[in-house]
Structure 1
Amino acid sequence: MADTALFDVDGTLVDTNYQHALAWYRAFRRVGITLPVWRLHRAIGMGGDQLVPAVAGDETEKRHGDELRDAETEEFDKLIDETRPFEGARELLSEVRSRGFRVVLASSGKKKHVEHFIDLLNARDLADAWTTADDVENSKPAPDLVETALHRVEGAAGIMIGDSTWDCIAARKLSVPTVAVRTGGFAVDELTEAGAVQVYDSLVEMRERLDETPLRAAD
């Protein structure tokens, strides 16, 4: 039985994935590289240190990695005011907390972005803790974020709530089950093959069906 709910923020609680894909597209264009947006979207959920070599190769990472990550941040800053919480996000956090779980917003995003999203969600009173890129050495699909989030509240065991295959893979490396939502655009089969124990179309549906998930009650 778990005692801690680890919520991914980008793409799970706040609708950001397509803005990130466009920001990465514009970042790569700055260095003369044009990648299909669909390919970038498929990599959203990885940390920037993982994404650049995954979509553009190790040589691009070596030559432009830090420049690209800085550029993506600059481009995303221009789009961040267009992002909005998904319907039911705050209500789901509140419901999970009322069932006895510690709630950690497990993000590897930039600190300023995470703070912005927490305020969008009006979730400072609901989260026991949150993480940012400053707290982890390696980003998803490495398990560092999941481990750090658990340690932040001295949790004994966790449940990941995420939207991407990368969330599932990172959690599975620590034997943490993932309840997934399709807000990241991944198919049900992709998420379950990556390790999700349940997949829902929306946060509203997940909340309505919490009793069939590991989030039904904390230990």
Structure 2
Amino acid sequence: MAGTTVADDGLVERAFSRAAATLGVEPGGDAHASMLAYVRATMGESKITVFRSLFGDEQRAQRANAEFERAYGELVAAGEVAPLPGARETIERLRSEGRKVVLTTGFARVTQDAILAALGWRDLADLTLCPSDAGRGRPYPDMVLTALLRTRTDSVRQIAVVGDTAYDMICGRRAGAGVVAGVLTGAHDDAALRAAGATHVLGSVAELPYTLGSPGGVPTAGSGGS
């Protein structure tokens, strides 16, 4: 979602900085800079997995994750989240063509729901998924395969995975999706997306319908991001 269909505008980094500060990692120091670089590099991965890598023990990771979700929720509640241009229209067009659309995220369900509510998107897609709904988050293929099962899609080759991060591309490739498209509206650039296995790189998600072509080829479109 964030970076693919939703304009994040640095909210992940701001929420991380708030969370890290509660664990004694203040902005401006070497430790904070190193951790922030890791957060940027792993955009798209399940957030609790990121915090486990950064803070080591489970208790600190869970505390950091809870603080991150709280801080991000406050930013969303303050109106600092918006749809990317053409995102809503793209989802509506895909569904009108008979395709199933699933919105996935690396955030926890509470944060995903807050974003959906803030944008008025609760009923926009056929299904929304977060890591806890599927078992594991990106780069594992669990959310894509859960989307296939729940939408009753016939084959993984009929799935299009779309996202702004290398982790989205790896996830799509591991799931066997027929289209794995990167978009340049979020965390990672053209080179990073292609290196991670993108079959297409688009300027934005608004180009997706033209990439898929006429309905019947790829009926399910999954949109990722943070």
- Which category describes the TM-score, using the shorter chain as reference length? 0.7 to 0.9
8 Å CA contact 1:103, 1:128 repeated in 2: yes
Shift of 1:185: 2.8
Cross-structure match for 1:191: 193
Cross-structure match for 2:41: 42
Shift of 1:93: 0.6
Instruction: Provide, for residues 96-121 of structure 1, a one-character-per-residue CA deviation record: whole Å limited to 9, x for no partner.
Output: 22332111112343223222333444
Q: Tell me the secondary structure at the aligned position of residue 82 of structure 1.
A: coil
Distance change >3 Å, CA 18–CA 38, structure 1 → 2: farther
Cross-structure match for 2:128: 130
Question: Bigger shift: 157-166 or 111-120?
Answer: 111-120
8 Å CA contact 1:93, 1:103 repeated in 2: yes
Question: Bigger shift: 119-128 or 92-101?
Answer: 119-128
Shift of 1:65: 1.1
CA RMSD of aligned residues (A): 2.2
1:31-180 residue pairs with structure 2 within 5 A? 31-33=23-25, 34-36=31-33, 37-54=36-53, 56=54, 60-62=56-58, 64-80=60-76, 81-156=79-154, 157=156, 158-176=159-177, 177-180=179-182
Counterparts of 1:84 and 1:61, CA distance in 2:
35
Alignment partner of 2:18 out of 22, 26, 41? 26
Q: Tell me the secondary structure at the aligned position of residue 175 of structure 2.
A: coil
TM-score, length-scaled by structure 2: 0.80
Alignment partner of 1:201 out of 200, 203, 208? 203
Could you tell me which amino acid in structure 1 is paired with residue 60 of structure 2? Answer: H
Instruction: Provide, for residues 82-102 of structure 1, a one-character-per-residue CA deviation record: whole Å limited to 9, x for no partner.
Output: 011111111111122233211
Could you tell me which amino acid in structure 2 is paired with residue 173 of structure 1? Answer: R
Q: Tell me the secondary structure at the aligned position of residue 32 of structure 2.
A: coil
Distance change >3 Å, CA 104–CA 63, structure 1 → 2: closer
Shift of 1:32: 2.0
Matched, 1:15 2:7: yes
Shift of 1:20: 1.1
Distance change >3 Å, CA 125–CA 29, structure 1 → 2: closer
Q: Aligned residues, how many?
A: 204
8 Å CA contact 2:72, 2:111 repeated in 1: no
Counterparts of 1:104 and 1:114, CA distance in 2:
13
Counterparts of 1:215 and 1:168, CA distance in 2:
20
Distance change >3 Å, CA 120–CA 143, structure 1 → 2: same
